[in-house]
Structure 1
Amino acid sequence: MLRWILFVIFYLALGAYTLQALKTATRYPWVYYLFMAISLLVLGNFIYQFTWGETQGRVLSRPKSYAFGLLLTVLAFQAITILFLFSEDIFRLIAGGYQRFFGGSKTFSLPERRRFLSLLGLGLASIPFGALLYGMYKGKYNFQVLKYNLEFDDLPEAFDGYQITQISDVHSGSFDDRKKIEYAINLVNQQESDVILFTGDMVNNKSEEMVPWAELFSTLKAKDGKFSVLGNHDYGDYIQWETAELKSQNLENLKNMQREMGFDLLLNEHRYLKKGVDQIALVGVENWGRGGFKKAGDLKRASSEINSADFKILMSHDPSHWEDVVLKDDYHYHLTLSGHTHGMQFGIEIPGWVKWSPVKWRYKYWAGIYKELGQFINVNRGFGFLGYPGRVGIWPEISVITLKRKPLT
């Protein structure tokens, strides 16, 4: 209870401070009342959803996600506005003190706030405010097909030009627009890839979240089939289960559902993709993540029956596995496919110019193609969304990777 009281006080204090910028910028009372009404409605909805509106069995239901997203939007607006007000108030305090002690003034008084700075602060604050709203309305379904050509010296000849479509982090429990998901599934099929590889997090918490979407995902097609691995959310670790048996059954239900949808689920296993006498070893591990995430992945077990000389593609949900384990392994894994980070669903990307997201402070390899020690990884930005019900700058991704045999020189 205390944390809610402290949070409300903090939120209202930010709102009151932001209101000062509005009063400096405009003399129309309806603007102040509108701001206060929106702020209080967002706060009230957030408190309701995370207390009395709690949905049993989920960490973040859709109403809770939107309550969080709207709160984040208002807080972003307030924070940037306050940044300008606070910096000016420091200047006003210094100027007032100088006039009192050195300027001959007998009383201490603050100079008036400058309307220009309030307008500038409000204008800049409206950028993330609008972007976060756009991210919830449109950005979360702004699917992008990102294509990569990767060259290898030892790619089997028959696989020159072999095309892989990777999707990751579906988080089906967050979906709220069937037409947009149908569009995305069609977009995947339009790539006409040789194989489709899904790298984990089919659901947020429960297998039942995938039930409304299972038939649709069953329509994904590729010449050499569809393969999948589990992500950290697929195990149901983030909710309270009445019994261990229910949790275990939930995982089994999800595994069976993936198989029924046509996915060959790799649980620390391998398969061979074959073209004539040539073959590629496809290795799939369960989730292995740094920093408190589940470490069920067993790379040694998954690759125990393949040859060291095989060309290898590894499916591993969390890119920290590549950094901490795969790169140090005795086997050379030519290409690893991961997801997990979502690119934090927020950032700035201008191809060839800028690639930034706050998630880079936690994950060295967080989006796109990287190469270390002659080995590649693609970190998919994710198909779905979780927590904040939107995406800003880091759009949902369908990766299309073409394997190329490096020409002899």
Structure 2
Amino acid sequence: MRWIIFIAIYILIDMYAFQAVRTVTNNKWLYALYGLSSLLVLFLFVYALNSGEARTNPALMYNFGFFIAFFVPKLLIIVFMFGEDIVRLFVGLFSKIGGNESGFYIPSRRKFISGIALGIAAIPFAGLLYGMIQGKYNYKVLKYALEFDDLPEAFDGYTVTQISDVHSGSFDNKEKIAYGIDLINQQKSDIIVFTGDLVNNVASEMHKWKELFGSLHAKDGVYSVLGNHDYGDYVSWNSEAEKAKNLSALKKLQKEMGWRLLLNENQTLERNGQTIKLLGVENWGAGGFKKAGDLNKACEGCEVSDFKILLSHDPSHWQEQVKSHDKNIHLTLSGHTHGMQFGIEIPGWIKWSPVKYRYENWAGIYEEFGRYINVNRGFGYLGYPGRVGIWPEVTVITLKKKRINA
């Protein structure tokens, strides 16, 4: 029944949007092309969802991507068409009230309005296709310098490279991924950290990418935490034992890559006899997401005076617990949101994505009470196999000792 309702709504929207095409042209071949493409996109979308592999099969993710690329522009078209139909209806009503001899008369659609609607709809259509072809591998290195009064002198200039949300089950181009890995290594940071969601669902997704990600290297090593997708919660397992085995395999895989997985614990980093603490928690997310993270446990052995960096996948954790925690956590590194893989960013002018209405901290650096969080936009992608405006990110943060001007 749900499929019947969904398909009926889809067809109604499609037919309404088609009126714009009819108004602009009489070309029957274009009519046929419109109809065939609509039916094909719908079929591929329904097939992908029914297959049960849409989260793990990159090819099936394109079915979803093409559906979005075709459907979103049609929603824009019907906004214009509906607005024009309201005007046409009022014109007809006024003509009737005004005593028009021909009675109630609705004027025909204007080619000009339909042309504008189609022209504007072409923008997201082209953008969404570009996002699938090029945008998802359009890696950007974003660099920040953060100053702290109590940063140990030996760590002045210390660099942290952060990546997040790899979602290896979505990848389909080894050459592009190798380029991204090389870009990370080129930063020559003191430490590399990964803030969760290595896979979409199962540990085996990472097998063909293990060697590439195992080539990441930094002076103080590579550290990681788990994200909500790493636990296998979005898969139907035959038993809890099978699910637990998958998580164990994922943990083992990270160890084999040379990564140090932090599970509600901390690690001491040392420079010239001075130290800072690197903390890592399991996933903790508001709004129904997994809450395996234990911040108090991760802080065991840490003093309030210690300089602390926390790896926590979900930025809602910072809002709910971290920023006000009595152990004074200076910097939190998160991911999870992907910046929704869609938005508009012009540095210094605008930063917008629909995900901002769900997450207060969704991309970039935020500060409250002298405590900072960086929300990485993600290295990979999930669902829609692309990115538009919100590009895959490698973050480089330089820690600076705040100097008092004489």
With structure 2 as the length reference, what TM-score do the two structures score?
Answer: 0.98
Structure 1 counterpart of 2:297, which letter?
R
Residues 228-268 of structure 1 deviation map (CA, whole Å, 9 limit, x = unaligned): 00000000001110010000000000001001101110000
Matched residue SS, 1:325: helix
Residue among 290, 311, 316 paired with 1:315: 311
Q: Does 1:108 align with 2:104?
A: yes
Q: Does 1:335 align with 2:335?
A: no
Query: What is the match of residue 165 of structure 2?
Result: 169
Query: What is the match of residue 399 of structure 1?
Result: 395
Residues 258-301 of structure 1 deviation map (CA, whole Å, 9 limit, x = unaligned): 01101110000000110121111001000000000010100100
Residues 13-38 of structure 1 deviation map (CA, whole Å, 9 limit, x = unaligned): 11111111011112222221111111
Q: Does 1:209 align with 2:205?
A: yes
Q: Does 1:183 align with 2:182?
A: no
For 1:308 and 1:15, the matched residues in 2 are separated by 60
Query: What is the match of residue 24 of structure 1?
Result: 23
1:250-269 paired onto structure 2 within 5 Å = 250-269=246-265
Q: Is the 8 A contact 2:48 2:64 kept in 1?
A: no
For 1:198 and 1:404, the matched residues in 2 are separated by 21
Q: Does 1:34 align with 2:27?
A: no
1:2-401 paired onto structure 2 within 5 Å = 2-51=1-50, 53-55=51-53, 59=55, 61-401=57-397
Structure 1 counterpart of 2:49, which letter?
F
Residues 304-342 of structure 1 deviation map (CA, whole Å, 9 limit, x = unaligned): 111111000000000000000011211111110000000
Structure 2 counterpart of 1:309, which letter?
S
Shift of 1:59: 4.1
Residues 159-185 of structure 1 deviation map (CA, whole Å, 9 limit, x = unaligned): 111011000000000000000000000
Shift of 1:54: 3.5
Q: Is the 8 A contact 2:355 2:362 kept in 1?
A: yes
Residues 178-219 of structure 1 deviation map (CA, whole Å, 9 limit, x = unaligned): 000000000000000000000000000100000000011010
For 2:32 and 2:83, the matched residues in 1 are separated by 25
For 1:205 and 1:86, the matched residues in 2 are separated by 41
Moved more, 201-210 or 326-335: 326-335
Matched residue SS, 1:404: strand
Matched residue SS, 1:43: helix
Q: Percent identity?
A: 57
For 1:64 and 1:325, the matched residues in 2 are separated by 38
Shift of 1:60: 5.0
Matched residue SS, 1:50: helix
| Structure 1: runs of 5 or more not aligned | none
Structure 1 counterpart of 2:43, which letter?
G
Paired residue total: 405
Shift of 1:106: 4.0
Structure 2 counterpart of 1:391, which letter?
R
Structure 2 counterpart of 1:38, which letter?
S
Q: Is the 8 A contact 2:55 2:61 kept in 1?
A: no
Matched residue SS, 1:181: helix
Structure 1 counterpart of 2:20, which letter?
A
| Structure 2: runs of 5 or more not aligned | none
